[in-house]
Amino acid sequence: MGNKAKIKKLKKRLKKLEKQLKKASTHTHAVAPLAPAEFPALPIIAGARFSAVKAGVKYADRLDVMLAELQPGTTIAGVFTKSTTRSAPVLDCQAKLGSDPTNGAAIIVNAGNSNAFTGDNGFASVEAITGAVAQTLDVPANRVYSASTGVIGEPLPWEKITVCLDELNGTLMPDTLEQAAQAIRTTDTFAKGAKAEVKIGDRIVHIAGIAKGSGMIAPDMATMLVFIFTDAKVDQPVLQSILSNLTDKTFNNITVDSDTSTSDTLLLAATGASGVEVDADTQAFCTALHDVMLDLAHQVVRDGEGATKFVEVRVSGAKSDADARVHALAIANSPLVKTAVAGEDPNWGRVVMAIGKSGAYAERDKLTIRFGEVLVAENGWVAPTYREEDGAAHMAHDELLIDVDLGLGNGKASVWTCDLTHGYIEINADYRS
């Protein structure tokens, strides 16, 4: 190789490194094409206040730490990753669920460093942060919940968080949940929020939630950080039961890349400030909470790293709901299906492949496959009326439906996913640069 060629190659490499360093300092990417037009106007949740600061945990000049202060009497429920390598903050939160709600509570979250796989340093960091928050807000340490998201395996510089606590405390406001949503992002291209207002009796109950998630998304509780707040009055065991049930219908049915995080945390706080008592039979409340959770779950998929397509995989006619979900996840997680979607290729053979490998029961000659309203295959063969151009026309849409009827029973399930593009590779190749 001549000198000119070597210099050209070095300049190209330098340009790439400069690009990676710029991304690493801010971790910002172009807003996903499937993003909502704007962040919703979230209702004020009486009994809750929020703040966010630029602590510089990893990112330069970005909000990266949020604090939520919750009034005495607030009950808190949570679901967490089942990963055997889950982080110190997750283990700490799990241990604190069910603590006496008489006193106030707090949630402190940082982005940029997950405090996972950090040994004793991880637990020491959690203790230092939650202890400092407890002292600052005058609440018991066992009522301070922490969450961290970001790079795995690097010690958390917790002093950058605790030194900001006076600022966080001094800027707590009831109407700053959007800033909190901004502060918990990593590779997310937009902040995620959802809301609901529901009339129970003659009074209104408010629900507001925020989430982060873009990559490392697969069902195993929830696969992201999610924080939901309501002014309803709900006993902790009831709140936990409602949350666990609804999680299985929402966050546990999304997947971006089949990878489950070490840091997945979903906390639901009920301040009770409205005075409206809710139990598991209060259908209006459960429906509203379900809608908020599903909205946030869908936003996570819409922000899937590199995603250009939002896909619902709907399976019916299975022997059981469990079998239907297994088939749906096999389709949604298949790299071959996801890349076909990215290329707008109506390759229904890949759907057949995914069903066959899922491990759940299926009979080839009873399968019916549709892309949207287009009948693609039936009776073990391509449908006589199917035209490739019709399938391709559906695949050209931003929002797609892959519909499978197994023809075996009444089991059904829906899973939501996205396509797999070169953008996913670029984002993750630069993640620790």
In terms of DSSP bridges, do strands 310-318 and 368-371 run parallel, antiparallel, or are they unpaired? unpaired
DSSP at 281: T
Buried b (16+ CB within 10 A) or exposed e, 182-213: bbbbbbbbbbbbbbbebebeeeebbbbbbbbb
- 3-state SS, residue 146: strand
In terms of DSSP bridges, do strands 65-70 and 48-53 run parallel, antiparallel, or are they unpaired? antiparallel
Does residue 223 have an active-site annotation? yes
Closest by CA to 78, choosing from 305, 276, 263, is 263
Dihedrals φ, ψ of 368, to 5°? -130, 130
Closest by CA to 337, choosing from 415, 226, 237, is 415
Is-contact 110 103, C-beta < 8 A?
Answer: no
Chain position carrying tokens 């065991």: 237
Q: Tell me which of 223, 255, 260, 282 is the catalytic residue.
A: 223
Is-contact 28 63, C-beta < 8 A?
Answer: no
> Where are the extended beta strands (E) located within 213-354?
225-230, 265-270, 310-318
Is-contact 216 63, C-beta < 8 A?
Answer: no
DSSP 153-212: SS---THHHHTTHHHHHHT-BTT-HHHHHHHT-SS-SS-EEEEEEEEETTEEEEEEEEEE
Closest by CA to 32, choosing from 398, 307, 419, 397, is 307
Rg of the chain in Å (alpha carbons): 23
Q: Annotated catalytic sites, by residue? A: 223
